[in-house]
Amino acid sequence: MKTALCPLFLIITVCFCKAQSPYSEQPKIAVFDIDLMVRALPEYKIVDSLVVIYENDTLGTEYELLQEEYKRLDSIFLNHIDKLTGGRDKFLDSINERKKNLCFSIIYWQQYAQKKDSIKRRTLSDPLYKRVRIAFFKILS
C-alpha cells in the first residue's frame, strides 16, 4: 500500500507544481492614473490657487453681470408692455427672447461654472500632464 501511495503522492506533487508555475510567470498588470499623479505633484497647488482666483474674480463677476442684465431687460420689457396697446411688437419679442436666454443661463449657472472651471484647470495644468506623460512613457520603455 505504501509503495502505491508514494508514486501517487509524487505525481500529485509534480502536477501541483506544474499547475502553479504558469501563474507565477504571468506578467503583472498595474493601473496608472495620470490625473492622480498630476494632482500629487507639488506644482499642482499653484494651479489650485489660480483656479480659486479665477472662480472668485471672473466667474463671480460674470454671474453678477448676468443678473444685472436680466434685471435691465426685465425693466425694459415691463416698461414697454405698459405702453403696448394692441398687437405684438418685434422689439418686445426680441427683448423677451434675450430675457429667456439669460434666465436659462442663470438657472444652469452651476453646470456652466463647473464646465468653465474644468476647462481653466485643464489649461493651467497642461504642462504638468505633459511631464507626467513623458515620465510614464520612460517607465514603459
Q: Tell me: the pLDDT tens digits for 22-77?
A: 555 666 677 778 888 888 889 999 999 999 998 888 888 888 888 899 888 888 87
H-state helical runs in 32-108: 34-40, 44-54, 60-83, 90-107
* Cell numbers for 25: 510567470
pLDDT score of 87 more than 70 = no
The confidence score (pLDDT) of residue 1 equals 56
CA separation, residue 99 to residues 32, 36, 45, 61, 110 (Å) = 47, 42, 40, 19, 19
Q: What per-residue confidence (pLDDT) applies to 32?
A: 77
What is the predicted pLDDT for the residue at 95? Answer: 80
Helix or strand run (H / E) with residue 27: none
Predicted TM-score (pTM) of this structure: 0.58
Whether pLDDT at 129 is above 90: yes
Eight-class DSSP state of 28 = P
Residue 97: which pLDDT band, with cuts at 50, 70 and 90?
confident
Distances, alpha carbon 40 to alpha carbons 31, 56, 90, in Å: 16, 24, 56
- Give yes or no for residue 20 having a pLDDT over 80: no
Rounded distance, CA 43 to CA 118, Å? 17
